[in-house]
A = this chain, B = another copy of it.
Amino acid sequence: MKSAQETLVPTTPHVEGDEDIGEIRNIVGFHIRLAHGAVYRHFSETFAALDLTQKQVSVLWLVDDHPNIAQTGLAQRMRMDRATTMAIINRLEGRGLLVRGRSPDDGRKQTLNLTDSGRAMLGTAKVAIAEHENWLKARFTDAEVAHLIELLTRIHE
């Protein structure tokens, strides 16, 4: 994309309040936030027609990969708390993309599974994800992609 000018800010002063942690562009967290925002925006554009968010697609995908998964299992994989997970599940269930069921093993748990409609939606979503990922990966070599994933994994795992 295009860059904002940046490029400067003369390292500067010794004024009070100077803890000397450097410039904001050297802060890793700042770049993660901006990169996430850029990815989020492109994702939203790509999925506007499907009316699905990142979280919703991830949930559909994970439920498809793990039939009968409980909400807590989903929450762990997504690094979300129960309440946040509930909100997303409610939305997807309301649209008829997945169904809740009773777990035969544990009366406290519920099973989550995709409906036929949900599976069809996931299929379409995966095509859009492939396009989205191509946009994202276009600026990297395969080795760089692998390295980036490895570095990011060290942060969230």
| Chain B residue contacts of A62, Cβ below 8 A | 24
Is the beta-carbon distance between B35 and A156 smaller than 8 angstroms? yes
Which residues of A from 50 to 82 have beta carbons under 8 Å from B?
50, 54, 58, 61-62, 65, 76-77, 79
What is the chain B residue whose CB lies nearest that of A66? B9
Number of copies of this chain that the complex holds = 2
Which residues of A from 138 to 157 have beta carbons under 8 Å from B?
139-140, 144-145, 147-149, 151-157
Is the beta-carbon distance between A33 and B24 smaller than 8 angstroms? no
Known: A4-B47, A33-B54; 6 extra A-B contacts, CB below 8 A, are A1-B157, A9-B65, A9-B127, A17-B122, A29-B39, A148-B148
Measured in the bound complex, the distance between the Cα atoms of B47 and A5 in whole Å is 10
Known: A28-B148, A62-B24. A124 touches B8 (CB 8 A): no
Is the beta-carbon distance between B122 and A28 smaller than 8 angstroms? no
Is the beta-carbon distance between A32 and B27 smaller than 8 angstroms? no
Known: A19-B130, A21-B130, A126-B19. A29 touches B4 (CB 8 A): no
